Structure 1
Amino acid sequence: MSNYDRPIQLGMHTYTLHLHGLGESWGFSEDHAFDQSIDLFKLMDYAVEWGLDGLHVTNVDLVSLEPEHLAKVKKAAEDHGLYLEYNVSFNAPCDPRVNSTVKDALLNAKAIGADLVKFSLDIDRPHPLYGSSFDPDVMKQLSKRYDEFKENLPLLDELGLTMSIENHCDMYADEVIWLVDKLNNPNVGACVDTMNSLNVLEGPEECIKKLAPYANCVHFCDIKLVVDPDGLHSIGCPIGQGDIDTAKVLRTLREKSNVKRITFEVESEIGDKTLEEAQENEMKACKESIDYLRNTLNVGLKNR
């Protein structure tokens, strides 16, 4: 079997249903105060129903980091036949509940049976953004992140985990590559988010091409770019319905990377809708994305 034809599993980032109380960015401030309507265990039921192979989860989904609860999550994932990946941040701008140290993240990942930990670095970038790759202030922050990662590489290897560093909304591809290269460990790679590069004025196609050879995790996203009298807007949408050429992205990942999983992520907003209407639209976008990824892009192993 060629590298291009290899099977790729299909997973979902829980943020896809954040308006239902998953992922992050809800329930911790007055602006986003609503109750959770789907918990992680119910989501596992849905994942099986939808034929997903795994879930990409956060501390918000786990609710509790007590050992007994983490063991319960691990057993539930095993019983459902799902792999888990664990998503954490250092200093998340939207939801502090997802923050963690490297050591705690590795230990918690092992406790829930996850095999990969994805880190957002939360770098405070200078402005203007244009041309700020490898800015001295950025490099000072990256050096601190490097020190913490480096200190915990023996634990990473001991636990048999994989670490992934994301081009989150504050990182250029070359900066991610620099950090991965410096850590120089076969269990450390890059998480490729297919739209985040726009947040630092970097073209998605060039970013994806650069990061693909280093990739061990993918956040597969799509957006619509809309220009109106109020300016330029980036609007989340179901996979395959926006301005990211998702078929081309997948070809690039198949040709230039060895990734074995695609984690799709859809960003939905409440906007001027009621919460109930927004939740209905969010669930619809989730199901449409799964249908497109499986039946058009041929991603996913289950129910084939």
Structure 2
Amino acid sequence: MKLGLSTYAFFWHMASVNTNRLSVEQVLEETKKYGIDLLQICDVEELEIATDAELKGIAKKAEQLGIELEIGTRGIHHIKLERFLEICEKLNSKTLRTMLNGANFAPSFEEAVQILKQFKPALEEKGITLAIETYEQRKTEEIVNIVKEVASPNIGICLDPANCIANLESPEQVISLAAPYVKNLHLKDFTFERKTGWVGFSLIGTPFGEGKLDATYMLGELQQHQVNVNAILEFWLPFTNSIEETVQLEKQWIAKSISYIEENLF
């Protein structure tokens, strides 16, 4: 497995509330500083609206730094997929992570199968893998069944067990169901924190290795199915007292998580 960073690991670095927010090209530079040569640019609006010249600039920067790119979006609407296949080609990305549901479009099982079958030839021809993320909006079993129905080596699952807790699916259930079909992996740890006054809980992120995700079990299941994919580090980092303080904490989380993963997992 190859370890990469997601733009979600730089969420507060890139947030609109950050007056010193980083561009995609600056995030590429930061990624290199951590000794990582893989970045998944995920759900970044500036990418979707970028001109050809701007995309060329990102591709050139990535090439100069020796960083492999993956691309992420939301939804499988025809227009969305067509645009992001173009972006993948311009940025030399062989992976497109998405979700079934997007803005104003939540396809039925039948609609999802039909759309994905229509894009199947293009994906296979271009050598791009579409990885549909496990998410609380849809049951993991449904996503797996869609992938099985479409039956393409270039269409599979982006495994992120943390997302599905909100839909009352345990990480172990999600991992077990999805493992044979995984094409991309999100490394995102989490914990439950009791709210002030002891009224309820919050589901929040942690540096990887400090939460409740059983990463050993997850990687073991993937190995059983001979799955060897890129593993992308993400965070659910809550805002702290200020954007400056939160960005500094984000930097600490990145460094701690990379160290844990490299020392304990691969």
Alignment of 1:169-248 (within 5 A): 169-228=136-195, 229-248=198-217
Residue 244 of structure 1: SS of its match in structure 2? coil
Count of residues in Structure 1 that have an aligned counterpart in Structure 2: 260
How many Å apart are 1:10 and its aligned residue? Answer: 0.4
- For the aligned residue pairs, the C-alpha RMSD in angstroms reads 2.2
CA contact (8 A) 1:195 1:221 kept: yes
How many Å apart are 1:45 and its aligned residue? Answer: 1.9
Give the distance between the partners of 1:161 and 1:264, measured in 2 at CA: 21
- Matched residue, 1:133: none
- TM-score (norm. length: structure 2): 0.90
One-letter amino acid of the counterpart of residue 11, structure 2: H
Give the distance between the partners of 1:293 and 1:192, measured in 2 at CA: 17
- Matched residue, 1:73: 58
Give the distance between the partners of 1:187 and 1:73, measured in 2 at CA: 25
- Matched residue, 1:282: 250
- Matched residue, 1:85: 70
Give the distance between the partners of 1:280 and 1:84, measured in 2 at CA: 25
- TM-score (norm. length: structure 1): 0.79
Give the distance between the partners of 1:19 and 1:235, measured in 2 at CA: 15
How many Å apart are 1:64 and its aligned residue? Answer: 4.3
In structure 1, the gaps of 5 or more residues are 1-7, 28-32, 92-98, 125-137, 299-304
How many Å apart are 1:164 and its aligned residue? Answer: 0.7
- Matched residue, 2:32: 48
CA contact (8 A) 1:118 1:191 kept: yes
1:107 to 1:63, Cα distance in 2 relative to 1, 3 A = closer
How many Å apart are 1:36 and its aligned residue? Answer: 4.8
Give the distance between the partners of 2:94 and 2:47, measured in 1 at CA: 16
Instruction: Give CA deviations for 1:201-243 in whole Å, capped at 9, x if unaligned.
Output: 0010111011111001001110011234120211111000011
- Matched residue, 1:132: none
Instruction: Give CA deviations for 1:187-213 in whole Å, capped at 9, x if unaligned.
Output: 111110031110210010111011111
Residue 253 of structure 1: SS of its match in structure 2? helix
One-letter amino acid of the counterpart of residue 46, structure 1: E
Q: 1:34 aligns with which of 12, 15, 18?
A: 18
1:181 to 1:90, Cα distance in 2 relative to 1, 3 A = same
In structure 2, the gaps of 5 or more residues are none
1:292 to 1:61, Cα distance in 2 relative to 1, 3 A = farther
CA contact (8 A) 2:74 2:99 kept: yes
Give the distance between the partners of 2:102 and 2:126, measured in 1 at CA: 27
Instruction: Give CA deviations for 1:85-132 in whole Å, capped at 9, x if unaligned.
Output: 1100129xxxxxxx96111111111111111001112279xxxxxxxx
* 2:32 equivalent to 1:14: no
